[in-house]
Each structure stands twice: as structure tokens, then as C-alpha cells.
């Protein structure tokens, strides 16, 4: 086909002027480098003006728009109003900071437009190489399987699907759960992420079949209570099949005692899964790895490269010891996905045989680039560094009479409050958190611990430094003093005790 005929095509989406596209593309790339290089100069987050909201409610355009103008809209109307999790002052929820190498890899992946469902192509080998590395991180055997997924919510669900199919037999895939001869029971702690219960719901097992085991003083699963619950369920004729442990709880960063849980799971013949959404990758830090002792004895691990691993969103991962059960839970013999030993349909089994997605993006590439470019040692140091910052924040809180620590600082999450009278404490601390976010200085989130509202700082971002911790403390103290005073003046503070 000659060039003239290509240019004449009225339906291609490629530009007629590649040079102009190239110039525009370089400008876009430069702008994103500028954004990352100067991110400290921006507010972490800022409230979104009504007219900006309104712009995103316009109907779909029928006619083309100029790319340079669209990019300008992105710079003015989208970029400044993102959540800000790349910013060093972002400490809300558990969000990763991303990294510039991962950003470039995303561009390469989008240009290649590879579909990672399967087929005989090196992009699938890149994903398999990351799986090979992940097996090594957690000392899982070679027959363990794994898959990139959106995030740990999906990874937990996949683990639950595989474990339940294994417990009930693969015939449930055709006959459904109602035909199963056993009634299953699962276990997790009161500190588990909400997606564990949601997975029970989505897997059709029901949240009522999930026992919520209380926490000990360290916010870890109470093992005696777990053993009692298992015994009671067995006595009632149920089939205990799944324990979802947490390595790095979302509230306070606690790690369940994995070795002791592995002992119980082994004795009781129960699948031991770990929700290690952010915490599992601490295995890359020689300093933090001992906290995860026993993780190598589990049946499955769900975690995110996009949190502590700093890979741009999204990059969740599920690792399953029993690769055969994992495959048998999802593989489907449909004629249009027939495999061959040669040609494009070679290379079976394919990633689509290990999860519900057929078409899949190239999440592996930004992960592969991030790990290759920085090395596992550096990534481990980043995680240990955020834990050191959490200890620094803890010390600063303990040194301030106006502040109170509300939970042990196990890893990188610190929960605290501004001290004020009991009935007003939750309201004022919630207001402090909002005021901090609106100030653009720092963006913590909140949680409730034993009925008390805590300002929660999850330090995940590799860009965060001591100065950012100081800014959080200073702003909390001044906003707290102001809000507590205005609360008293308006006569709303009636409390007599300090909570």
C-alpha cells in the first residue's frame, strides 16, 4: 500500500500530519515531567469550582476538537483537580505516589496496545517474568500461579473463588452453589478491609458466612477467638474453608500473626489467604520483612504494586500456591479461544485462564520497568523510609500535649487526634481533617477506632519527607486550636470529660 492511498483514507484515526502530532506529544510529555518535578509547589488537593464540574457534564462532541486545545483543558481543568496522591503531602487512605519511570512505561504500553488476555507474544512473557519474581519474593514454589488484576479487591475475590471451588469441587462451576453438599464458613478479623466481606457477597457465599474475629490490643486477629469460631462452626456441621489474614491493615497497619495462623490453617486444613494490599511488598525491605514471617506458608497472597510499590495505578496482583486449582477455576474451553502449539494461538495457558477478564491491559510493563529501573533494594528502602517517617510523626505527636496517639504505629500508618472535650472530639477532629485537606498543606483521612474519630496519616509516598510531617503537625495544631475555640464560643461544646 502506498503512502498516498493511506493518507486518503477517510476513516483512519491516525493524523495526516505526524510531525505536528509528534510536537504536540513532546509538549504533553514535558508538561507531565514539569508536573512531577514541581509537584511540591502545588496544593496537595483543592476544592473543585462549580464551573469546572459543569464542564464535564457537556454532551459528547460530534465534530473533532483540536488536540492542543484539549491538552490545555487537561492542564487547566483536570490536572489541578485530581486527588493529589502523587503529592508528598498526601497521606489519606492508602494511596501510592506513582513514579516517572512507570509513567513512561504506561505510554509505551498504550502505544503498543497489547492485549494481555493471551496469545503467543512477549508481553505475556513480561507478565510471566513478574510472576516469577513475585514467587521469589514470597518463596512460593514454581507451580504457583499469578495474575495482574485491577487491585487487591479483585485479587481477594479471585482467591476466594479458587478456595471455594477447591473446597466444593469444580462441579460447582456448572451446578452452582445451591447444589453444593457443604456449607462453607470463612474467617477474617475485625481489622480486615471491607472488600473481604464484599468478596463473600460477590462469590455468592454471603457475608453471613464470614466470621469477623475480634482484634487483640495490637489490632491483630485474636487467635484464640479464631480457634473457638472454627470449632463452633465444625460442631454446627459447617465446613470452615478460608481464613483471610491481613498483612498491613488499612486502619492502623497491623500485621496478623502469619506463622501462628499458618499452624492453625495447616492443622484445620483451611486455605490461608493474605490480604497484603500494601503490606506484602514490605518483603522487599530486609528491615521490614521479618514482620511478614510466615507469609511463605500461605495459600494465596493479594497485593498491590500501586500502593507501596509506587507503580502507577492500577497494578494489583494475585499469587496462588495451587496453580492447578487456580487454572481450573477459570479456564473455559470455547472454540474461538482454541490453543495451538505453534502460531499466535500458542503459549497456553494464557492469563485469561486465571481470572474473569479476557481482554487485559499491559499492567505488567509499568511494573517490570519500575522494578528494573529502581531495583528491589531501593523499593524496599522507600517502604522502610515511610515507616521511619511514621515513627517520627508518632514522636512528634507524643511530644505535643494537644495531640494524642490513638493506635500503635506498626508500619507506616499513624492515627491520632487533637485533644478536646469528649462530645466534641469526633466532630472537631473530622473538621480538622477536612480543613487540612482544604488548606492544600496535607491530606490525611480519618477512621473510627473504638468509637473515637482519628486523623489518619498513611505515609506511602516515596516523595514524603520530614518537612511534610512537620507541616501536618503544625497545621493540625493551629487548625485544632482555632476550631476548638470557635466550637466553645458557639456554645456547642458541652462535654466534661476528655475522651
Ligand X SMILES: *Cc1c(COP(=O)(O)O)cnc(C)c1O
Name the site residues for ligand X (rule: CB under 6 A). Answer: 94, 151-153, 193, 195, 246, 248-250, 275, 277-278, 304, 316
For ligand X, give the closer residue by CB, 119 or 456. Answer: 456
Cβ at position 251, least distance to ligand X in Å: 9
Give the three cell numbers for residue 37.
518535578
Cβ at position 278, least distance to ligand X in Å: 5
For ligand X, give the closer residue by CB, 277 or 382. Answer: 277
For ligand X, give the closer residue by CB, 436 or 460. Answer: 460
Helices within 293-362 (DSSP H only)? 323-330
Cβ at position 317, least distance to ligand X in Å: 10
For residue 58, report the phi and psi dihedrals to the nearest 5 degrees.
Answer: -80, 155
Cβ at position 353, least distance to ligand X in Å: 22
Cβ at position 94, least distance to ligand X in Å: 4
For ligand X, give the closer residue by CB, 280 or 284. Answer: 280
Q: Which residues contact 166 (CB under 8 A, 6 or more apart)?
A: 271, 322, 325, 329
The 3-class secondary structure across 205-241, one letter per residue, is CCHHHEEEECECCCCCECHHHHHHHHHHHHHCCCEEE
What is the arrangement of strands in the sheet containing 184-189, beginning at the earlier edge strand? 145-149, 316-320, 300-304, 271-275, 239-246, 184-189, 210-213
Q: How far is CA 274 from the centre of its chain?
A: 14
For ligand X, give the closer residue by CB, 275 or 322. Answer: 275
For ligand X, give the closer residue by CB, 28 or 190. Answer: 190
For ligand X, give the closer residue by CB, 150 or 381. Answer: 150
Cβ at position 37, least distance to ligand X in Å: 27
Q: Which long-range contacts (CB under 8 A, 24 or more apart) does 106-115 make?
A: 106/312, 106/365, 106/366, 107/29, 108/365, 108/369, 109/361, 109/362, 109/365, 109/366, 112/362, 112/365, 114/362, 115/359, 115/360
Helices within 92-169 (DSSP H only)? 100-112, 122-138, 152-168
Cβ at position 244, least distance to ligand X in Å: 10
By Cβ distance, which residue is nearest to ligand X? 151
**What DSSP letter does each residue of 77-98 carry, written as one string?**
IIGGGS--TTSTTEESTT----
For residue 291, report the phi and psi dihedrals to the nearest 5 degrees.
Answer: -65, -20
For ligand X, give the closer residue by CB, 123 or 316. Answer: 316
Cβ at position 78, least distance to ligand X in Å: 22
Cβ at position 456, least distance to ligand X in Å: 12
> CA angle, corner 115, sides to 111 and 116, nearest 5?
120
Q: What is the largest CA-CA distance in the chain?
A: 85
Give the three cell numbers for residue 347.
503459549
Quote the CA–CA distance of 307 and 295 in Å, as a whole number.
19
Helices within 339-399 (DSSP H only)? 363-399
Q: Which residues contact 182 (CB under 8 A, 6 or more apart)?
A: 167, 168, 238, 239
Cβ at position 277, least distance to ligand X in Å: 3
For ligand X, give the closer residue by CB, 317 or 354. Answer: 317
For ligand X, give the closer residue by CB, 412 or 437. Answer: 412
Is the bond leading into 446 cis (omega within 30 degrees of zero)?
Answer: no
Beta bridge partners of 351: none
For ligand X, give the closer residue by CB, 245 or 320. Answer: 245
Cβ at position 344, least distance to ligand X in Å: 32
For ligand X, give the closer residue by CB, 317 or 350. Answer: 317
Beta bridge partners of 212: 188
Cβ at position 219, least distance to ligand X in Å: 12
Amino acid at each position: 500500500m502506498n503512502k498516498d492511498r493511506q493518507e486518503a483514507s477517510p476513516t483512519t484515526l491516525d493524523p495526516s500530519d505526524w510531525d505536528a502530532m509528534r510536537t504536540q506529544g513532546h509538549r504533553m510529555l514535558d508538561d507531565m515531567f514539569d508536573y512531577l518535578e514541581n509537584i511540591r509547589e502545588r496544593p496537595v488537593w483543592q476544592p473543585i469550582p462549580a464551573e469546572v464540574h459543569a464542564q464535564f457534564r457537556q454532551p459528547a462532541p460530534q465534530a473533532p476538537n483540536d488536540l492542543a486545545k484539549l491538552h490545555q483543558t487537561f492542564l487547566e481543568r483536570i490536572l489541578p483537580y485530581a486527588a493529589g496522591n502523587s503529592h508528598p503531602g498526601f497521606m489519606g487512605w492508602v494511596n501510592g505516589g506513582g513514579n516517572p519511570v512507570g509513567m513512561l512505561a504506561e505510554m509505551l504500553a498504550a502505544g503498543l496496545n497489547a492485549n494481555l488476555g493471551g496469545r503467543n507474544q512477549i508481553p505475556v512473557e513480561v507478565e510471566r517474568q513478574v510472576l516469577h519474581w513475585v514467587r521469589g519474593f514470597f518463596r512460593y514454589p514454581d507451580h504457583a500461579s499469578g495474575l495482574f488484576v485491577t487491585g487487591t479487591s479483585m485479587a481477594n475475590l479471585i482467591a476466594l473463588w479458587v478456595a471455594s471451588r477447591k473446597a466444593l469441587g469444580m462441579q460447582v462451576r456448572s451446578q452452582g452453589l445451591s447444589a453444593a453438599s457443604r456449607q462453607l464458613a470463612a474467617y477474617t478479623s475485625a481489622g480486615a478491609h471491607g472488600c473481604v466481606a464484599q468478596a463473600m457477597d460477590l462469590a455468592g457465599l454471603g457475608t453471613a458466612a464470614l466470621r469477623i474475629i475480634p482484634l487483640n490490643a495490637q489490632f491483630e486477629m485474636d487467635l484464640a477467638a479464631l480457634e473457638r469460631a472454627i470449632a463452633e462452626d465444625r460442631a454446627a456441621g459447617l465446613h470452615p474453608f478460608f481464613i483471610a489474614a491481613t498483612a498491613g491493615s488499612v486502619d492502623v497497619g497491623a500485621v496478623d500473626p502469619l506463622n501462628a495462623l499458618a499452624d492453625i490453617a495447616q492443622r484445620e486444613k483451611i486455605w490461608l489467604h493474605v490480604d497484603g494490599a500494601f503490606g506484602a511488598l514490605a518483603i522487599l525491605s530486609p528491615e521490614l520483612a521479618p514482620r511478614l514471617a510466615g507469609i511463605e506458608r500461605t495459600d494465596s497472597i493479594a497485593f498491590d504494586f500501586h500502593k507501596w510499590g509506587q507503580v502507577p495505578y492500577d497494578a494489583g496482583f494475585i499469587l496462588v500456591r495451587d496453580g492447578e486449582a487456580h487454572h481450573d477455576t477459570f479456564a473455559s474451553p470455547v472454540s474461538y479461544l482454541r490453543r495451538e502449539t505453534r502460531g499466535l494461538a500458542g503459549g497456553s495457558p494464557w492469563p485469561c485462564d486465571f481470572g474473569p477478564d479476557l481482554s487485559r491491559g499491559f499492567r505488567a510493563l509499568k511494573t517490570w520497568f519500575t522494578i528494573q529501573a529502581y531495583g528491589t533494594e531501593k523499593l524496599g528502602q522507600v517502604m522502610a523510609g515511610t515507616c521511619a517517617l511514621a515513627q517520627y510523626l508518632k514522636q512528634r505527636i507524643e511530644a505535643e500535649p494537644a495531640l494524642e496517639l490513638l493506635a500503635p504505629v506498626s508500619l507506616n500508618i499513624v492515627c491520632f487526634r487533637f485533644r478536646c472535650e469528649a462530645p466534641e472530639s469526633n466532630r472537631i477532629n473530622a473538621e480538622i481533617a477536612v480543613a487540612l485537606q482544604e488548606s492544600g498543606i496535607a491530606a490525611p483521612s480519618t477512621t473510627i477506632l473504638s468509637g473515637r474519630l482519628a486523623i489518619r496519616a498513611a505515609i506511602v509516598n516515596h516523595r514524603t519527607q520530614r518537612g511534610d510531617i512537620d507541616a501536618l503537625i503544625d497545621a493540625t495544631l493551629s487548625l485544632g486550636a482555632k476550631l476548638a475555640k470557635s466550637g466553645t464560643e458557639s456554645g456547642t461544646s458541652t462535654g466534661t470529660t476528655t475522651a
